Amino acid sequence: MARALMSRRGRCAVSVEKSDPQPSGPALVRAVLDAARSNPKQRVATQKVRRRRGGYSGPGADARDPQAFGTMIARLVDERGWQKPAAEGTLFGAWARIVGPDIAAKCRPVVLRDGELTVEAVSTAWATQLRLFTKMLLAKIARELGDQVVTRIRVHGPAAPSWRKGRLVVQGRGPRDTYG
């Protein structure tokens, strides 16, 4: 009769007593399956436990320690050379913080191209006021994002409403500034 033995490495070895001939086919499969099912706890106990390489890094900062998300993003931006696009994105995302909530409530950045920032005001009066504040706005932006991100500010008033209705249009005197 076939008998299963466990090797040191946790593998099953099938040994056959001398009186039985070598099992083959279904008998061999059954013998190996019986050996595997015989004592699973013993098999697990005999296997060596693999230790993780490294373990506790000790007190103090280490390269293997978890890093802050902001630090990792800043490192990625520096490695890839994305400083200027990141600063441009910050300008649009943090507009209220950069220029202040009062000014941000009355205008919004529209486009930044080649260092020229286009700002749209809510009224023509605010557009005129913002034209007087351009040096102050440039200083605030330079303090937050750097000198080379925005070099010039262009301010315009609100977009005029379209009076066109339908397919046919008669030329009139043009849009008027009646809303601000």
Residue 60 lies in a domain: no
38 shares its domain with 104: no
Confidence of residue 99 (pLDDT cuts 50, 70, 90): very high
| Residue 140 belongs to a domain | yes
- Give residue 26's identity as a one-letter amino acid code: P
Does one domain contain both 132 and 85? Answer: yes
pLDDT (tens digit, 9 = 90+) per residue, 114-145? 999 999 999 999 999 999 999 999 999 999 99
Measured distance CA(100)–CA(90) in Å, rounded: 14
Q: Could you tell me if 95 and 143 lie in one domain?
A: yes
Q: How many domains does the chain have?
A: 2
Q: Are residues 91 and 139 in the same domain?
A: yes
Query: Tens of pLDDT along 142-153?
Result: 999 988 899 999
Residues 12-40: tens digit of each pLDDT: 555 545 555 677 888 888 888 888 788 66
Report how far residue 157's alpha carbon sits from residue 146's, in angstroms, rounded to the nearest whole number.
27
| 88, 41: one domain | no
At 110, list the tokens.
């529209």
Tell me if 68 is assigned to some domain.
no
Q: Is residue 170 part of a domain?
A: no
Residue 48: C-alpha distances to residues 11, 39, 74, 91, 175 (Å): 12, 17, 43, 57, 84
**What's the domain range around 100?**
81-156
pTM score: 0.54
105: which 2 tokens? 């409530």
